[in-house]
Structure 1
Amino acid sequence: MTGFKMIEKRNDNNKQYTVGVVETAFHSFAEPGYELRLESGDNLGPITQAYETYGRLNSDKSNAILVCHALSGDAHAAGVHEGQNNIGWWDDMIGPGKAFDTERYFVVCSNVIGGCKGSTGPSSINPMIGRPYAMDFPFVTISDMVNAQKHLIDFLGIERLLSVTGGSMGGMQVLQWVASYPEMVRSAIPIATTKKHSPQQIAFNEVARQAIMADPDWRDGGYYEHGQPNKGLAVARMIGHITFMSDQSME
């Protein structure tokens, strides 16, 4: 589990606190013969999950909160890594005295499978061929992500989560947790999310995918030895950001 030390962070002359220096841990499972069965019917394994924890798990393991990240997020939700200035993406919410108070709660955040930020995904080495999976990586769903997270929660010895929370795609995972494992979730905090995509949202996402695939650096998904299709990714991100905002918020 990730250790931490509290350090002060000053902002606009107001004293705030952060969990401090943290480390990313890794949990491996789904070894040969015990692969994770995906919703598509494919099997995936072995699987590595990157995760971080903040705070301490109490004696009866009743104070655990699972934080689920959005599409472009990762396991690094709070604090900083040693020698870096990479403040976690939800540092304003996680820490001593904050909404998810690490003096009271044990907070867990993992990178989803397929996320490519420490957990097994298309950039991981396919053990069958010794090269990145790339386009051979199986299709994964929100349900698959949650099923993989359950393996981590079981590994940590947590039988019931005090809460599951997250926004956007993270919120979709929250809803899936409630649907798939209601007996393991005491409360849920889904934020800015939905239970399904609208036809318009699906259409915008397809335009974003086409922008990436139109970049010559895409190389039919085999770009790992040549550099990312950054121009296509930039256009896709611009398209996506427009869909995140309302007319009022853009005025």
Structure 2
Amino acid sequence: MSKKRSHTLKEPFITESGATIPKPTIAYQTWGQLNAAKDNVILVCHALTGNTSADDWFEGIFGPNKALDPREYFIMCPNVLGSCYGSSGPTSINPDTGKPYQANFPEVTIRDIVRLQQQLFDELNISGIELIIGGSMGGMQALEWCIMDDRPKSAVLIGMGAKHRPWAIGISHTQRQAIYNDPNWNDGFYSEEHPPKKGLALARMIAMNSYRHPSDFDQKFGRRLQDGQSNYEVESYLNYQGEKLVERFDAVSYVRLTKAMDSHDIRRSRPRIKETLAGLTIPVKVVGIDSDMLYPPGECHELAELLPNACYVEISSPHGHDAFLIEFGQLNPIITSLQTELSEQSV
């Protein structure tokens, strides 16, 4: 059984840009039992619009006899800083004004997100992380955890690279422009009754085109028209995905987190990156997806070559970037083989 929790940290949080969040809060969800040493932890990092319910969106690798087995591990999934699912973000109440931050919430980076999670783990006295895993933005967090902290003992990084490249930044930019051009945007200070739904929906449609592969759309939709209508099935699909997101996500959070992804670059402010990475000797599996257009396999392979004790594994899928949330039959053995290797080494 899972437990949803919320933790307000003891100290204010200062972002990389120097902004202060007075009462930072992290929402997180757990499964299983923490052992006496507080080191049987698996940390799951979620993607852009994800939440703490890893057993829902990672269901295929979650549960008895699967990679994320709560009978054996204490599994934690925190909501990221800047999101709208319980952690401090634009929808949170600013203690200085008594109103939601909205666009007054500061810009954050992937490293900010990780530093806040580190503070949570410090206050919970978590001493070790058996495995850290994440796909897309989750993988970016997992990678920075490995660089910034000595608690992780292994990592699985899926569908991302050492930095956000211009192609991915450009796609993020067009999504933000869709939001900014919504007449209800109001510089991020929109009313609760009239949020920028059209802009956020359009941003999601742009994203969905980058998450999938053309052959996947060919197979799913072809050039078929929606029954009794003049629009194509693919248009209805994208409209549905946009409408679904606006009912569960906040526009300023979307802007802040896409910019956080753009900040991802392990070389940033690290002039001696080779020396920094040389100390990262934990076993890492970097998983690429052969049909991923957003983070092509070459980027994942390049990352694996940068890390001292990493191996590159590629999964085959027609689903593009979204395969990390679909191809559980391929992901399970990749993760469990790493866990087996660690177990054998500890004997």
Please indicate the TM-score interval, normalised by the length of the shorter structure. Answer: 0.7 to 0.9
Q: Which residue of 1 aligns with 2:121?
A: 153
Letter in 2 for 1:125: I
Matched position secondary structure for 1:92: helix
Distance 1:224 1:164, change over 3 A: farther
* Mapping of residues 118-197 of structure 1, within 5 Å: 118-181=86-149, 183-197=150-164
* Mapping of residues 188-207 of structure 1, within 5 Å: 188-207=155-174
Q: Deviations over 1:105-141 (max 9, x none)?
A: 1100010010111111011111111111111111110
Q: d(CA) in 2 for partners of 1:224 and 1:68?
A: 31
Q: d(CA) in 1 for partners of 2:214 and 2:162?
A: 23
- How far does residue 224 in structure 1 lie from its aligned partner after superposition? 4.3
Unaligned runs of 5+ in 2: 219-347
Q: d(CA) in 2 for partners of 1:71 and 1:204?
A: 14
* Mapping of residues 66-81 of structure 1, within 5 Å: 66-78=43-55
* Mapping of residues 54-93 of structure 1, within 5 Å: 54-78=31-55, 88-93=56-61
The answer to whether the 8 Å contact 1:26/1:49 transfers is yes
Relative contact order higher in (CA < 8 Å, ≥ 6 apart): 2
Q: Following superposition, which runs of at least 4 residues in structure 1 exceed 3 angstroms of deviation?
A: 246-251
- How far does residue 218 in structure 1 lie from its aligned partner after superposition? 1.8
The answer to whether the 8 Å contact 2:28/2:79 transfers is yes
- How far does residue 58 in structure 1 lie from its aligned partner after superposition? 1.9
More helix by share: 2
The answer to whether the 8 Å contact 2:32/2:70 transfers is yes
Aligned length: 218
More strand by share: 1
Q: d(CA) in 2 for partners of 1:225 and 1:96?
A: 42
The answer to whether the 8 Å contact 1:123/1:224 transfers is no
Q: Which residue of 1 aligns with 2:4?
A: 24
Q: Deviations over 1:177-197 (max 9, x none)?
A: 01111x111001111112211
The answer to whether the 8 Å contact 2:129/2:153 transfers is yes
Is 1:225 the counterpart of 2:192? The answer is yes
Q: Which residue of 2 aligns with 1:236?
A: 203
Q: d(CA) in 1 for partners of 2:152 and 2:197?
A: 39
Q: Deviations over 1:33-76 (max 9, x none)?
A: x3212111222220111001001112222310100000000112
Letter in 2 for 1:150: Q
Unaligned runs of 5+ in 1: 5-21, 79-87
Larger Cα-atom Rg: 2
CA RMSD of aligned residues (A): 1.5
Matched position secondary structure for 2:185: helix
Q: Which residue of 2 aligns with 1:81?
A: none
Aligned with residue 111 of structure 1, among 64, 69, 79: 79
Letter in 2 for 1:153: F
The answer to whether the 8 Å contact 2:131/2:155 transfers is yes
Letter in 2 for 1:233: L
Matched position secondary structure for 1:216: coil
- Per the normalisation by structure 2, the TM-score is 0.60
Q: d(CA) in 2 for partners of 1:213 and 1:64?
A: 40
